Amino acid sequence: MLRLFSMLLLFAAFAAAARAEETASLSYHVLTRHLSSFEALSPTERDKVRLTVRVITAKPANRPVRLWMVYDGKRFDLPVDDDGFVQVPRTPEIIDADPMIESNQPKGSIKTKLALLLLVPDQRRFHYADLQVATRQTNALIDKAAGLASFLLPSVTGVQFSCPAGTDCALTIHHPVGDETLRPSGDGKIRLALNPALDAEDPLIEASTPLAVIEPLTD
């Protein structure tokens, strides 16, 4: 069974999970501490993926989940999307200031992780090869982080697609022998296993609406 790959598996320079230390607030540094290591990689090592922050709340006491920080006397909201991903501003000034990140969730109810997302040229229309390039880069990052222990870590075997909330979403794979339509499962996600047949075909993949998120999966 495929399960969501998270950067929690990468335990080296940029791999440990950032946690909120059982409080409803944490410093900017704690929230983003491994982003700097990722950003320090050469562009060719990370141009097909994006490392981001994901908020995890088992049972949100207040909906929607909100995060914000006060910097230079101004409040900056950090939007949290339906999948828990957070938009975190990155400037040298904010990094140096290390402001506190506040939440509307009670103490001890929230934590954060780093998550790796796959990038394709167009979120609505792309080829299977675009996914393969991104997953190969992900596997290379796993190996780079793990070093000699890389054989202990999984490799990417599939992809999970998330559609914008409230949309009637479907994914069409244009095989040479005919189209295949994939629809969301009960959790609203569409999953695609990578396989040699798709490698050989390199079919065009079209989404009925621009995809919100594309995530790697491991077995």
Handedness of CA 1, 14, 142, 88 (dihedral sign): positive
Q: Using the 8-state DSSP alphabet, how is residue 17 labeled? A: P
What are the pLDDT digits (tens) for 42-59?
A: 999 999 999 898 888 877
pTM surpassing 0.85? no
What are the pLDDT digits (tens) for 62-105?
A: 778 889 999 999 999 999 888 889 988 999 999 999 999 998 88
Integer Cα distance of 22 and 186 in angstroms:
31
What are the pLDDT digits (tens) for 189-211?
A: 999 999 999 999 999 999 999 99
Integer Cα distance of 192 and 86 in angstroms:
25
Torsion of CA 179, 2, 187, 204, to 10 degrees: -20
Residue 5 has pLDDT above 50, yes or no: no
* First vs last C-alpha separation in the chain: 6
- Long-range Cβ pairs for the range 67-74 (8 Å, 24+): 67/101, 67/102, 67/103, 68/101, 68/102, 69/28, 69/99, 69/100, 69/101, 69/102, 70/99, 70/100, 70/102, 71/97, 71/99, 72/97
Handedness of CA 46, 145, 85, 216 (dihedral sign): positive
Q: Which of 46, 26, 24 lies closest to 37, judged by CA?
A: 46
Q: What is the mean pLDDT of the chain?
A: 84
208 within 8 A of 184, measured Cβ to Cβ: no
Residue 168 has pLDDT above 80, yes or no: yes
Q: Using the 8-state DSSP alphabet, how is residue 80 labeled? A: B
